[in-house]
Amino acid sequence: MALTSRAARARSTADLALHVHDYRPDANGSRRERLTALAFIAPALLGFAVFYFWPTLRGLYFSFTEYDVFNRPVFVGLGNYRAILEDSTFWNAMLVTVEYVAINIATQTVLALLLAVLLHRLTRSVFVRSVIVLPYLIANVVVALVFYWMLDAQIGITNQVLGWLGTGPVAFFGDQNWAIPTIALVNTWRHLGYTALLLFAGMVMIPNDVYEAGRVDGASEWKMFWRITLPLLRPVLALVLVITVVGSFQAFDTVAVTTSGGPGDASRVIQYYIFDLAFQRLQFGYASAVSVVLFVILALVALVQLRLMRADQSDVA
């Protein structure tokens, strides 16, 4: 079923391509057009080649070497990848990262959806819309440090309040069980408004008459959310999820300025581990191999997400 529909889609794309191909005025014009197009693409392409593509290739090459920046890289074949298999710190870092992503994405997506619905269905106020993105305008490091102080077990304001309520103190950043949830939720707080705004933009694109029809049929807001908003939002939601999940896997700065991966290895997320390997221990070859593994995992995650959510199709119109 899925296969045939994919085949059909491929065929229709091919038809479209053929059609465009036929619609070519003359060879000369086409060349000029192509040159103009290239000229427009050139800056972005150059930037991509120099700052993304080339470093990626270099990184891939370094992942097969032992390299400390100061001496010529020594080719070690698959040595680094074999070492990863036995590296318990790496596997722990993967586990910690997955825990972080799960908490961060689950809370962030649900809350952002709720916020977006409220923005969409309740208010037209530009002021309210701007206020919810405010946290996103504060630098990550600043957010991290402010929470780091507020959540101190002994002199932080949060535990002061918890004390009045008769519980605590909770060592939010210091307890090995709390560190990752805390860091994940701090980042949820920061990214919530931005994610909500993206989803809100998607909701605005849903034609209003669908809601009107729903209201005529006597559907409640709750029902309209599940039957109209969510299904029609799917392509946007899929895109937002891919972007936020990939971003979430790269959590680094919050960890770097607060726990530095500790206590123990409790918050040693994969990006921090890569940084530690490369810039503290000068194991650039091994760090590159870990980066390549992360790259493959992220590519797979994004692919699966896009496939599952049929992100390239819309149900509107």
Partner 1 sequence: MRQPRRRLARTAAAFAGATVLLSGCATYGVDPGGDAQTGELTYWMWEAAQLPAYQQCASDFEALNPDIDVKIEQFGWDDYWNKLFTGFVANSAPDVFADHTSRYGEFAARGLIEPIDEQVERAGIDLGAYVTGTTELWVGPDGKRYGLPKDFDTIGLYYNKTMAEEAGVTEAQMKELTWNPVDGGTYEDVIARLTVDTNGVRGDEPGFDKDSIATYGLGLNSSGGPNGQTEWSYLTQTTGWTYMDKPAWGTEFNYDDPRFQETITWWRGLIEKGFMPPLSFTEGGSLDQQMQAGKYAMATEGSWTIANFAGLEGIELGLAPTPIGPSGQRAAMQNSLADSIFTSSPRKGAAWKWVQYLASADCQEVVARSGVVMPALASTVETSQAALSETGLDITAYTDQIREGTTFPFPAVLNSAEIQSTMTSAMDNVLAFNAEPSSLTQVNAEIDALFD
Q: What does the binding site for partner 1 look like in residue numbers (CB under 8 A)?
A: 57-58, 61, 68-73, 89, 148-149, 151-156, 169, 171-176, 178-179, 258-259, 262-265, 276, 279-282
Closest approach, Cβ 23 to partner 1, in A, equals 22
> Closest Cα to residue 41, out of 30, 31, 49?
49
What's the min distance (Å) between Cβ of 47 and partner 1?
A: 19
Nearer to partner 1, 145 or 302 (CB): 145
Minimum separation from the CB atom of position 22 to partner 1 (A):
19
How far, in Å, CA of 30 to CA of 42, rounded?
18
CA 121/CA 302 separation, integer angstroms: 30
CB of 95 to partner 1, least distance (A): 15
Question: Judged by CB, which is closer to partner 1: 177, or 208?
Answer: 177
Please enumerate in sequence order all residues whose Cβ is within 8 A of that of 198, keeping only pairs 6 or more positions apart, or say none.
Answer: 112, 236, 240
Cβ at position 159, least distance to partner 1 in Å: 9
Q: Which is nearer to partner 1, 156 or 202 (CB)?
A: 156
Please name the residue ranges forming H helices in the chain.
Answer: 2-22, 27-48, 54-62, 79-86, 88-121, 126-137, 140-150, 157-164, 179-204, 208-216, 221-224, 230-249, 253-257, 270-275, 284-308
- CB of 61 or CB of 211, closer to partner 1: 61
Residue 248 or 259: the one with the smaller Cβ distance to partner 1 is 259
